[in-house]
């Protein structure tokens, strides 16, 4: 399905405008909601949003090629010069991942005196903050659940002794698993873990030691890169998300290691506010909404941390 963008959000207004106290300014509300929507969160800040332009205003599916591993043909310059037939070409039958714009989040309310609220910076911020955070959390939760509620092929059991504990032995297993799957942890990988795993990591000398917890690996987020890292390990920045929770069940994902550009998030409609005066309710109906979709491109390059 496709969604129309509604009101224009390109205009940014301030309280200094002389019309603020006399007319309703939808662009001002859209800019306010979008400002709070873009406050740093874990998965939204890490996700690559560069494909959004492909579905702005039209279309609802992005076809992302999944290139299979290729093997070069070994030959010599002399052999190439003596060729009388075509060189060997790879099969074009690569697979794809589909990113579908199939999610819409909205926050709606009725305000009796919207112009008065709009003219008061304090009151205005309360309303746009509430709506902005509401739709932001819906997107954050959906993207986070791609990992916490998904099925990841490469699993590392955490822990050897107790639930919701990540030990140096677990890290050793994780690093070995990554390298055996052609993944260098220092080449842009990040680790996102539950609050419980983060709390336990503070008890590990290997994590808190400056000699071990270096930050050589640098993530390349596609969204808002102001999200704060909890620390780093083996060259990977560590982030914390409450989408991973403490549970006693086995094989429950409590953390994930991945490259931010492997997590695609696309917005067909950026955070937008639409409005209409209602005689039935004697107030202005406001709705902030966003239309989006997200997917993991290559699950083989995602490494899950689970309870033992």
The tens digit of pLDDT for each residue in 104-131 reads 998 888 888 877 787 777 788 888 888 8
Are residue 182 and residue 192 in the same domain, yes or no?
Answer: yes
Residues 303 and 177 in one domain: yes
**Per residue in 184-220, pLDDT tens?**
888 889 999 888 888 888 777 766 665 444 443 444 4
Q: Is the pLDDT of residue 15 over 50?
A: no
- Residue 227 and residue 103 in one domain: no
177 occurs within a structural domain: yes
**Rounded-to-integer distance, Cα 252 and Cα 256, Å:** 11
- How many structural domains compose the chain? 2
Q: Are residues 30 and 168 in the same domain?
A: no
The CATH number linked to 232 is 3.30.1930
Q: Write the DSSP string, 69-84.
A: P--PPP--HHHHHT--
Domain limits for position 292: 26-65+96-146+263-296
Buried b (16+ CB within 10 A) or exposed e, 46-63: bbbbebbebbeeeebebe
165 shares a domain with 141: no
Verify that 140 and 160 share a domain, yes or no.
Answer: no
User: Do residues 134 and 222 share a domain?
Assistant: no
In a shared domain, residues 124 and 245: no
Judgement on whether residues 171 and 281 belong to the same structural domain of the protein: no
d(CA 104, CA 108): 13
The residues near 128 (Cβ < 8 Å, ≥ 6 apart) are 29, 32, 33, 35, 36, 288
Looking at the fold, whether 272 and 205 belong to one and the same domain comes out as: no
pTM: 0.76
Measured between alpha carbons, how far is 55 from 101 in angstroms, rounded to an integer? Answer: 8
- Domain match, 235 and 128 both: no
- Pair (285, 218) in one structural domain: no
Distance CA 201, CA 187 (A): 22
pLDDT, one tens digit per residue, over 47-94 is 998 888 888 877 788 877 776 666 778 788 878 787 777 777 766 666
Q: Residue 276 — φ and ψ, nearest 5°?
A: -160, 135
């Amino acid at each position: 399905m496709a969604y129309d963008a509604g009101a224009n959000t390109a205009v940014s207004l301030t309280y200094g405008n002389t019309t603020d106290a006399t007319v309703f300014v939808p662009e001002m509300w859209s800019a306010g909601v979008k400002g709070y929507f873009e406050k740093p969160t874990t998965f939204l800040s890490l996700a690559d949003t560069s494909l959004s332009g492909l579905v702005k205003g039209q279309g609802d599916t992005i076809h992302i090629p999944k290139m299979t591993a290729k093997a070069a043909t070994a030959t010599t310059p002399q052999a190439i010069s003596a060729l009388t037939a075509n060189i060997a070409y790879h099969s074009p039958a690569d697979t794809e991942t589909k990113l579908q714009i199939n999610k819409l989040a909205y926050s709606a309310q009725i305000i009796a005196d919207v112009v008065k609220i709009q003219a008061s910076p304090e009151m205005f911020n309360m309303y746009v903050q509430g709506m902005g955070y509401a739709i932001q959390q819906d997107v954050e939760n959906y993207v986070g659940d791609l990992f916490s509620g998904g099925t990841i092929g490469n699993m590392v059991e955490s822990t050897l002794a107790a639930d919701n504990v990540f030990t140096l032995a677990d890290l050793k297993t994780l690093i070995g698993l990554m390298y055996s799957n052609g993944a260098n942890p220092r080449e842009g990988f990040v680790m996102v873990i539950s609050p419980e795993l983060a709390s336990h990591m503070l008890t590990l000398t290997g994590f808190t030691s400056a000699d071990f917890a270096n930050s050589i690996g640098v993530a390349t987020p596609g969204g808002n890169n102001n999200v704060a890292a909890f620390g780093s390990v083996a060259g990977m920045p560590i982030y914390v998300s409450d989408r991973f929770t403490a549970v006693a069940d086995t094989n429950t994902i409590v953390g994930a290691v991945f490259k931010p550009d492997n997590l695609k998030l696309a917005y067909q409609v950026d955070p937008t506010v639409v409005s209409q005066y209602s005689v039935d309710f004697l107030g202005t109906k406001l709705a902030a909404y966003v239309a989006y979709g997200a997917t993991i491109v290559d699950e083989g390059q995602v490494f899950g941390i689970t309870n033992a």
